[in-house]
């Protein structure tokens, strides 16, 4: 018998979200497919977007090569850049765009001979996040060194926001200003807007956007309606029923104790599948299209839900862990994390593309 847990990946919703992001931004957009497309399957998502996307972005070279070997010919930007000479050689061989954010990467390019204009370089400016990128006062000198390399063709300027999903945080405006000053007078495209930047910061809309989490329908600002559609629906089934009497506890560590007669459904999914173990009693979940809650601690292979007010539900009832009815942001918030983590942690569950 096949275990009933599965993840439905709605590729039409993915395309909808990409087109919405591109329309809102007004420029070109790289669909971010790092971390296996945030758990959705990078190859399948790339193939679904290949006719629409101006390009893709991944974290490291190996992720890009996987797409190339599967026939993806769109531009692919490597966000972390090259870690060593072997990476740089592979990037050249597979016609990848690369981010340069530190001196060792710049030096490697200077010491590499390749055909003229072979490298499309994105020069990353540290505008205030202080994680990766050249200091603003070094940008003009770095640009000059890149221009002196025969193998470097186009140079695009980029930076990354620390707080773009907080519309009232002044840090993003400060980062925009720092970036503009650092790159003033230098020719080349600009890229600032991640998902939050696309949705909340029109001043960050430049030549290229980099939509990530929003592609998958998880709004980085959950309390706002931006018209995104959930791409993943994580499903399972109720496979056992029992009733707790008042005073009886449930599951590991006995974290839930019934205050009244409670009808419990056992669901075939758990933290080994990627459902967050830290999700407490009260985390939203849907059964046969109706909302209810989890109760007790999440186990490795199963979780328990409250069916007391759903008398029609029984063995075989469909369960939505997250998707159109259950916002992944609500599940993540209850679990003390962000939507990125449970999506990226999806495993063992088969993906079915629709």
Residues annotated catalytic, as ranges:
34, 252
Q: Is 314 exposed, middle or buried (0-12, 13-18, 19+ CB in 10 A)?
A: middle
Q: Please say whether the dihedral angle defined by the alpha carbons of residues 42, 47, 52 and 58, taken in this order, is positive or negative.
A: positive
Cα 64 from chain centroid (whole Å): 16
Q: Where are the alpha helices (DSSP H) in 82-220?
A: 85-93, 103-110, 139-147, 171-183, 195-200
Question: The tokens of 45 are what?
Answer: 């998502």
The position carrying tokens 């290949």 is 50
Among residues 235, 232, 234, 237, the alpha carbon closest in space to that of 1 is found at 237
The annotated binding site for substrate is made up of: 131, 300
- The strand pair at 232-244 and 152-158 is best described as unpaired
The annotated binding site is made up of: 131, 300
Cα–Cα distance measured from residue 139 to residue 153, given in angstroms and rounded to the nearest whole number: 17
Residue 57's Cβ-side half-sphere holds a number of Cα atoms within 13 Å equal to 20
Cα–Cα distance measured from residue 322 to residue 307, given in angstroms and rounded to the nearest whole number: 17
Q: Is 187 exposed, middle or buried (0-12, 13-18, 19+ CB in 10 A)?
A: exposed
């Amino acid at each position: 018998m096949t275990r009933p847990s599965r993840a439905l990946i709605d590729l039409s919703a993915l395309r909808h979200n990409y087109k919405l992001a591109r329309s809102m931004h007004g420029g070109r957009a790289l669909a971010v497919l790092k971390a296996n497309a945030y758990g959705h399957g990078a190859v399948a998502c790339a193939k679904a977007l290949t006719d629409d996307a101006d390009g893709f972005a991944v974290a490291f070279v190996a992720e890009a090569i996987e797409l190339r070997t599967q026939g993806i010919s769109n531009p692919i930007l490597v966000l972390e850049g090259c870690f060593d000479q072997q990476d740089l050689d592979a990037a050249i061989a597979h016609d990848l765009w690369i981010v340069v954010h530190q001196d060792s990467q710049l030096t490697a390019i200077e010491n590499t001979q390749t055909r003229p204009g072979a490298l499309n370089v994105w020069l990353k400016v540290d505008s205030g996040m202080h994680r990766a990128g050249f200091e603003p006062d070094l940008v003009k000198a770095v640009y000059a060194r890149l221009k002196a390399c025969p193998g470097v063709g186009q140079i695009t300027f980029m930076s990354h926001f620390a707080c773009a999903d907080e519309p009232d945080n002044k840090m993003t405006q400060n980062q925009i200003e720092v970036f503009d000053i650092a790159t003033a007078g230098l020719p080349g495209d600009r890229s600032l807007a991640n998902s939050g930047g696309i949705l909340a910061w029109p001043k960050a809309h430049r030549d290229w956007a980099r939509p990530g989490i929003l592609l998958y329908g998880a709004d980085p600002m959950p309390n706002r309606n931006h018209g995104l559609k959930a791409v993943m629906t994580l499903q399972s089934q109720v496979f056992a029923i029992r009733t707790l009497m008042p005073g009886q506890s449930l599951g590991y560590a006995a974290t839930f104790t019934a205050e009244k007669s409670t009808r419990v459904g056992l669901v075939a999914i758990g933290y080994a599948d990627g459902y967050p173990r830290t999700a407490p009693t009260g985390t939203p979940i849907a059964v046969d299209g109706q909302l209810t809650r989890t109760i007790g601690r999440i186990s490795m292979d199963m979780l328990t839900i409250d069916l007391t007010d759903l008398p029609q539900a029984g063995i075989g009832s469909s369960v939505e862990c997250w998707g159109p009815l259950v916002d992944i942001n609500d599940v993540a918030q209850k679990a003390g994390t962000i939507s990125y983590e449970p999506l990226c942690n999806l495993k063992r569950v088969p993906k079915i593309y629709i």
